[in-house]
Structure 1
Amino acid sequence: MPVVIAHSHLNPGGVNRIIESQIDSLQGEEIKVLVGACPDGSKIKSKNAELHIIPDLNYLERRKYTDQEAMEMLHKIHREIREHLTRDTILHFHNLNLGKNPIVTYAVYLLAKEGVKVFNHAHDFAEDRPSNYSFLEEIIYDNFSQNLNEVLYPNLPNYQFGVLNSFDFDRLKELGVTEDRIEWLPNPVTFDASDDLPEKQVAKQAVCKELNIDADKLLVTYPVRVIQRKNIGEFILLSILFRHRANFAVTQPPQNPLEFEMYKQWIKFCNENEIDIVFEAGQKVNFENLLRGSDFCITTSYKEGFGMVYLEPWLLDTPVVGRDIDFITRDFKNDGFSFPTLYYKLNIPGIKTDFKYLNLKMQMEIISAIISGKIEKHKLFEQNSILNTLFSDVKLYITEKNKTIIKNNYSLQGYGIKLQKRYKKMVG
C-alpha cells in the first residue's frame, strides 16, 4: 500500500519525530515523504523512505495575494502533489489545517474531491490561533470564494482525520466530522533509554559537574524548546521561589526567529537579576544523561498538542511536576497515570489573573517584585498551597506504574497497527 507522508518542513521538533516514528511503524510499506524544507534528510533516507523537497509546501508568506497569484500557486501545488500519487495512495498530511499555508490546505481538499484518500493528521488547530485562522479566511474565502469549514472539514468518506487526544476527537465531532472518520492516535513514546544507564545519583553528579552547578541541590529540568506557549516566565518565577533548594535548567532555544526576541529578553533579564537558570542545557550535556540525572522534570506550558513532556521523563525514573493541562492529561489519567504534583493555576498576590495570562513585561515586573521583596514569597506559598509539596519525594511504585503504562499503551508497535488498520479501511 503506497503511503505519502507530507508536512510543511522537517525541522527538529514534535511533528518531525512523529513522522520518523510513523515510518518506523510502517515497515514493509512503500513510503514517500514530501516536505517544503528539510535541514537534514539523513534519518528519513536511512529508513528506506523516498524524500522529496517541494518548497511550495512550506509556510506561505503572510500577505495579501491577488486572485490570479493564488490561482497560479494552487495549480502548481496541486500538480506537484498529484504527481506522487497513485489510485491506492494514502496521502497522510500533518497539520494541514493549521493555517501556515492555506493554498496547500485548499489543494489537498481539491485532491480529496477528485477521490484521493486523505488522512489529515491534526496536531494543532487554526481555531486556537486567531492569526492563522484569519489567514485561512483571507485565502480560501476571499481569493477562492470557498466555505472555510467545508474546506477544513469536508464531508467526504475518503477524507479522514487523526487526532492526538480525546479533546480533539470531540472537537472534530462538534465541527461536523462523523466519528467513523476519526482515528484517535496518541503519539508513540519512542524514547529509547539506554540499557547501560548510570545510576541516577551518578548521572546527577556528572551532569552537575559539566554544568558547574551544586549537586547537593535538586536538579529541575524543563525539557523543552523555549517558545511562547511554553511559558518560560513561570519557570523562571519558580526558580526564584526555590533557588535555595534547586537548580533549574531548560534544554533548547527557539528555532523560530519570531520567538527568539522573547528568548533573548528573558536571558537578559536573568543575567541582570542574577537568576541562575541554565539555558540550553541540552546542548551542553547529553540529553538522556540530563533527564536521568534530574530529580524532577517540570512543565509550565499552557498549551500542548499531545503532551509528550508528561510521559517521557518517567522512562528515566524522573518524575514530572508542574502545570496541568486538563484536556491533555485527562487521557493519561484515564490510562491510570499518577502525577504527584500538578497545578492548574498560579496565583499572584494582588493580581486577579493567572500568571500564565500576563504579558512578558508584567511577568518580569512580578518576578522583580519577588526578588526585591515587594511581593513576599510566603504569600505566594499561602495562595498556592501546591507549591509546598511541588518537589516532594515520589514513591518508587508510582514511577514503576507510570513506566509500565507507557510501555503498554504508547508503544510504536501498537501505533503502527492502528495506522495500518485505518489505511486499509480507507483503501477498502
Structure 2
Amino acid sequence: MRKDPLKLKPRAKLPEMLHMAQLHYHLAPAGVRVVMENTIDSMLSFEKKRKISIFVLASAWAAPKPDDLKIRSDFKKLKNAEVRIIDIPEIDYDSKQYKSREKFLERAKKLKEKIVKQLPLEKCSAKSPFILHCHGLPLGKNPALNYAIKLLAEQCERMKTPLWILNQVHDFAENGRPEMLLTLQYCTGKRDETFAAEIMYPNTRNIFYATINSRDAENLRTAGISEKRIFFLPNSIDTGFFSGKAITSKKKFKKQLIEEIRDYSMRSKYFFNPKRKIILSPLKCMRRKNNAESILLLKAFNYLDDKFQLIITLDAHSGPDVKYSRKVRRFVRQEGIPVVIGVGTDVTSSSEERGKYAGKVTKFSIVDLFAVSKAVMTTSMIEGFGFAFHEGWITGTPVIGRKIHYVCRDFERNGLKLGHMYKKLFVDVQWVGNCEKRLFKIFFNDVNELRKKQEMKALAKKKMLREINRTKYYRVKGSKCVDFKELSIEMQLEAIREIFKDEKNVKKFLSLNPSVGRMLKMLQKKPAELVRHNRKIVMKKYSLRAKAKRLRHIYAIGTANYLKKVKDKKIDNRKVIDKYLDLDYIHPLAMGK
C-alpha cells in the first residue's frame, strides 16, 4: 500500500475539470452511503476553484434526487459544480444464480452498456479522464455488476478510452460471509473459483484500489493486487457537525432530553434513572457490536461506583441480529440493569438537523446525546473503520471500551492515544458451565461446515482442539481464561450472572482486567488533556478537509498513471479465504451463536 496521501508531497496535479462518479448498489441509509456523501462533500467544499461534475450511479429508490443526499455543501449555489443521481435499478443487490455462463455474461454485458451510456466520456480526454469511484464490489452482492465493471475496464484499456476506476473496499466476502462468497463462486451456474476471484479483484492497468485500513490492503496484496495500486483512504468524520454546540448546554433542553429518554424507557420497560450518569454506546444492538460486553462493563463500574447507566442508541432490524437483540433486551429487563436500548430512533433526528415544531424541539441531534454523556463506549469486535472511535473526542467526550487491533493500529500511527482501552476482556472459564466443551462443539461444527462449503478437508478433533487452545485460551494470573467476545451470547449472559453472583468473582474479574479501573477513573474525572489531544488528531487526520487532501492525491496519481503498463500478477484469493478460516478470525457471535 502506498503511504497515507496526507503524508505525500503533491507531484501529480488534478485537471481543472473533474468528471467523476460514485457507484454503489443502492443509496439506502447506511455506512457506505455516508462515505459517499462525505466524499462528495469533501470535494465540493475544498476544491471550489475546480470545475467538478459528480454523478451518483445506483439503484436510487432511497434517494432519487440530489437533495435527498446529506451534503453540507450547497452545491446548487456553486457555479463550478454539479451533482446528478443516475438511477440504474440493475445495480442493486442481485444474488441470482444463472443457468449458464452465457446467460450470466449476457446480463453483465447489458449492464456494462447501460453504465457506459450514462457517462459523459465525450467530454473527457487522456489528461482529464473520467474517474469511476466504486464502493463495496468485492462483497459481490451483485456478481453481474462485478463482471460489468471488469468488462468496462478492459474495454477502456483496449480502446484507450479516458476512464479509470477506483475500487474502494469496505469489506470482504471471504471474511465471515460464506453465502456471498458462494454466490460469486456459483454465479455462472457452475462453481468457478478462478472466475469469482477475477471479478472480485479485476486487475487491468486502469483499476486502482482504496482501503479504509491497512489490514484490508494486506488482503488485496495477498490476492495479487500490486502494492503500488493500493491507496490508504480511511473514512472521514463530519467534524463541523460534531463540533456544533449542543442545545443541552441549556438546562431546559437538557431536562427535556432526559425526560424523553425516561418516557421511552418506561414505555419500553427499561430501567432509567435521571440522576444516574450516562455512558453512551452509539452502536446498533447486533452481534458484531458485542453489546453484552458493554453490560458487563457497566455492572463492573457500578460495583465500584454505583452511579452509571448505559444507553445503546439503536436496535437491530433484521435476521439473526434481531434474535440476538431480543436476548440482550430480555436479560437487562429480567436483571433490572440500568440499560436503555433503541432510544436513538425515538429521541434523535435521523438527519443532522434537529426536529422543530411551533418553536419547540421535537427531535434532538445526536450531538445533544453525546453532550449529556460521561463517555462513549464501544465494544465492537469487528469493524472496517469504527466511527465510535472518533466522534466522541470531537464532542469533548472520552471514548472507552475495546480496542480492535487491526483498526486501531492505523489510528495510533496517526497519533490517537488509545492506551486506556483494552484488547481483551478476560473471564475465567469456570464462570461458564462446561465452557470448554461447549466452545469445542461450536468451533468443531461451524468451522468444518465453513471448510466444507469451500471444498476443504475437515479438521480432525485433535487438531481442532490444538487450534482452539492456541487461539482462544489464555493463562492469566494462574487462571485459564477466555476473551469475553469469544463466547456465544448465552455463554456471555451466563458469565455476567456468575461473576456478579459472588463478590469474590467480581474482585477476580477486576484483577484480571485492570483496564476496568482505568476507564472508571475517566468516568469519574474527565481526562481533559487526553480529550484535547485526541480531538486535535481527529480534526487534523479524519476531517472532510483531510479526506479532500487524500482524494486529491489519489485522483491525481491515478490520472497520471492509468495508462501505464503494470506487471500483472495472477489473481488468486485462496490465501485470503484460508486466512479467514483460521480460528483467529472466527467468533461464535459472528456465526449467530
Could you state the TM-score of these two structures normalised by the residue count of structure 2? 0.66
Map 1:1-400; keep pairs closer than 5 Å.
1-27=18-44, 28-41=51-64, 42-44=67-69, 47=75, 48-61=82-95, 64-67=97-100, 69-87=103-121, 88-115=129-156, 116-131=163-178, 132-139=180-187, 142=190, 146-191=194-239, 192-193=241-242, 195-197=244-246, 207-212=257-262, 213-243=272-302, 244-285=306-347, 286=364, 287-339=366-418, 341-349=420-428, 350=430, 352-370=481-499, 372-373=501-502, 376-393=505-522, 394-400=526-532
Shift of 1:370: 3.8
Contact kept in structure 1, 2:37 and 2:70, CA below 8 Å: no
SS at match of 1:6: strand
In 1, Cα distance between equivalents of 2:375 and 2:151: 48
- Structure 1 stretches of 5 or more lacking a match? none
Larger RCO: Structure 1 or Structure 2 (Cα < 8 Å, ≥ 6 residues apart)? 2
- 1:122 deviates by 0.6
C-alpha distance after superposition, 1:160-191 (max 9, x if no partner): 01111222233322332222211111112114
Cα contact 2:20–2:133 (8 A) shared by 1: yes
Q: 2:543 aligns with which of 389, 398, 411?
A: 411
Partner of 1:333, secondary structure, is: helix
- Contact 1:204/1:292, CA 8 A, preserved across alignment: no
User: CA offset at residue 250 of structure 1?
Assistant: 0.7
> Cα distance 1:170–1:71, how it changes in 2: closer, same or farther (>3 A)?
closer
Q: Percent identity?
A: 28
What is the aligned length? 427
d(CA) in 1 for partners of 2:70, 2:297: 43
Q: CA separation in 1, counterparts of 2:368 and 2:69? A: 26
8 Å CA contact retained: 1:10, 1:39: yes
Offset of 1:377 from its aligned partner? Answer: 2.0
Q: CA RMSD in A?
A: 2.7
Letter paired with 2:68: K
Looking at structure 2, the residues matched to 127 and 312 of structure 1 have their Cα atoms a distance apart, in angstroms, of 29
Distance 1:144 1:75 in 2: 19
Which protein has the larger Cα radius of gyration, Structure 1 or Structure 2? 2
Q: 1:386 to 1:229 in 2, by over 3 A?
A: same
Residue 69 of structure 2 aligns to which amino acid in structure 1? I
**SS of structure 2 residue aligned to 1:242:** helix
Shift of 1:257: 4.2
Q: Deviations over 1:60-96 (max 9, x none)?
A: 24x6431255344323422332222244322111111
Using the TM superposition, give the Cα deviation of residue 197 of structure 1 relative to its aligned residue in structure 2, in angstroms.
Answer: 3.1
Residue aligned with 2:187, SS: helix
In structure 2, runs of 5+ residues without a counterpart are 1-17, 45-50, 76-81, 122-128, 157-162, 263-271, 348-363, 436-480, 561-593
Q: In the aligned structure 1, how far is the partner of 2:117 from the partner of 2:509?
A: 60
Residue deviations 1:305-352 (CA, integer Å, cap 9, x gap)? 112211111011100110011111112112221125211112122254
Q: Secondary structure at the match of 2:238?
A: coil
1:242 Cα deviation from its structure 2 partner: 3.0
Task: With the length of structure 1 as denominator, give the TM-score of the two structures.
Answer: 0.90
C-alpha spacing 1:130/1:155, structure 2 compared with 1 (3 Å): same
| Range moving further from structure 2, 289-298 or 105-114 | 105-114
